[in-house]
Amino acid sequence: MREEEKIFNGILFSPGDPELKAIKLRSHKLSAAYSRTNEDDVEIRAELVKLMLAEFGEGSFMQGPVFFHYGRHTKIGKRCFFNYNLTIQDDAPVVIGDDNNFGPNVTIVTPVHPMLPDERRVLLDKDGTPRHLCYARPVTVGNDCWLGANVVVCPGVTISDGCVIGAGSVVTRSIPPNSFAAGNPCRVLREITEKDSMRHKPEILADYRIAPPEDD
């Protein structure tokens, strides 16, 4: 079994495997190239994204700089906005849905290392050869989520549709739909409801108004 297949099967793999190192080097170079562009370099950025990511939906925008570990393990939906310093360590698959907003310095991590120091230093393969090994857990962000500045999303987490994650949170467990969650570790504080509508804040809404709901 190839090392990349081991990642997708959730078992130990060797991050130093030559094939994986080549995939990561390519992604690191593409991330660096994207990060050297400006937001008005629209055509250059579009081409780099096609080369770097598995999917990048129409209308999505990454301010940059960005860092993707594998790149091709990440799928991003439509109309998403990512502020500066986006980091996605996508050893395992990372799937981000539609209409999401990420604040500055958001980090998503998927790899997990053994807890015991001896096992972090070395494990043995089936032939008894010493290896540095880890495993990875996928991360999913649903639709219509807002992740505040400096949020860290840990391996294996699912953030369901309609969630708001407070700035500086470390998300170690999955978050149910329509939740406002914050803290380290992140926990659900309350459900997001109609009471949170801007219509109840006329002093902020000013001359704007709420758009009618879209047809399903």
For residue 27, the tally of other CB atoms under 10 A from its CB is 23
Q: Are 171 and 158 in contact (CB under 8 A)?
A: no
Q: Using the structure block, give the residue that is written with the tokens 């981000």.
A: 96
Cβ atoms of 112 and 136 closer than 8 Å: yes
**Which one is catalytic: 69, 73, 113, 200?**
113
Q: How far apart are the C-alpha atoms of 141 and 163, rounded to whole Å?
A: 9
Per the annotation, the verdict on 113 as an active-site residue is yes
Answer for the pair 47, 26: CB distance below 8 angstroms, yes or no. Answer: no
Give the count of beta carbons closer than 10 Å to the beta carbon of residue 191. Answer: 13
| DSSP result, 160-183 | -TT-EE-TT-EE-S-B-TTEEEET
CA 46 to chain CA centroid, Å, is 19
Burial of 8 (0-12, 13-18, 19+ CB in 10 A): middle
Give the residue numbers annotated as catalytic, written as ranges. 113
